[in-house]
Amino acid sequence: MESKKPILLLCTNGDLHTHPALEYGVWLAGALKADVELLGISESSEEAGMVEALLDETASRLDLLGISYKTILESGHGPETIARYAGPQHLTVVGPLGRTTWQRMVHGRSIRQIMEKVATSILYIRQAHLKLERILLCMGGLGYASSMEMVALYLAQATKARITLLHVVEPVNLEYKTAREVQANWQNILETDTPQGQNLSQALALAQGTGLRVEFEVCRGNIVHQILEEARQGSYDLIGMGSPYSARSLRHLYMPNVTAEVAEALECPILTVRHGHGVFDP
């Protein structure tokens, strides 16, 4: 499959929690042979020196690998500044922005604000896990994770990674035909003539079309708990999640932010992409 090559947008606000994301971004740029934009954000005058130090350190690593890059230095609020530079051609690589306990209590961890502001592809890195051999793609069944799958398959092809597609059937109390059919046939959902069965079959066929090793798993229970259990037992190098902001309704305002909860609980790199914004098409 032919694909568009992304530009990696490596972001730091000078906080040491962003260092693993910079390290991972340099490694990934080498694996993808992709160009890089280094975005340094000074959120306060006291942090400017650390921002420049991290940018210089990262630039030196890129120079050693012969990777083309440019450096951008800005002042402003981290998530909003990242959003201004994260265009459709970018894969944004970012880690925790080092918020205080009070800020996390009020707004949640920075990944929640980044997901809200950045509409394009995000790689959230808490630890620099420098390999990409096994990828878990969490598929919701309604097609909102299709863009994430496209980006993940691009990465998988570049690194020859093994793919597992996971679908979690969450118990529901609503009594309508499709829900009853999914609940009754959840173990054989690919064989059902439901929107979930059709979308999951398409996602599986797309992954299999890459020629990579692909597996499909389905389980039933709480979505977050099931994803975390599979992620921890499977020793995955990357977890792909859809974005709550993919839905065009107000669903994301009252439903749990599953992607953020998973990203906050795991140290494994997390890929998230809003529906309709995956541009690295395999």
Does 64 fall in a domain? yes
Q: Are residues 111 and 219 in the same domain?
A: no
CA-closest candidate to residue 118, choices 279, 273, 281, 275: 273
Given CA atoms 100, 106, 108, 110 in this order, what sign does their dihedral have? negative
Q: Are residues 77 and 101 in the same domain?
A: yes
Phi, psi of 140 (to 5 degrees): -80, -20
State which of 94, 124, 154 marks the end of a domain: 124
Per-residue model confidence as pLDDT tens digits over 220-271 = 999 999 999 999 999 999 999 998 887 654 454 445 689 999 999 999 999 9
Does 280 fall in a domain? no
Cα end-to-end span (Å), the chain: 5
pLDDT surpasses 80 at 180: no
The model carries a pTM of: 0.90
State which of 64, 92, 124 marks the end of a domain: 124
Q: Are residues 151 and 206 in the same domain?
A: yes
127: confidence class by pLDDT, cuts 50, 70, 90: very high
| CATH code for position 163 | 3.40.50.620
Percent of the chain with pLDDT over 70: 88
281: confidence class by pLDDT, cuts 50, 70, 90: very low
Q: Are residues 27 and 95 in the same domain?
A: yes
The pLDDT score that the predictor gives to residue 115 is 92
Q: Are residues 51 and 104 in the same domain?
A: yes
Return the exposure string of 172-195: e unless at least 16 CB atoms fall within 10 Å of the residue's CB, then b.
eeeeeeeeebbeeebeebbebebe
The pLDDT score that the predictor gives to residue 107 is 52
Q: Are residues 35 and 79 in the same domain?
A: yes
From the centroid of its chain, how far is CA 38?
A: 19
How many domains is the chain built from?
2
State which of 100, 124, 148 marks the end of a domain: 124
Give the structural domain span for 180: 134-273
176: confidence class by pLDDT, cuts 50, 70, 90: low
Does 227 fall in a domain? yes
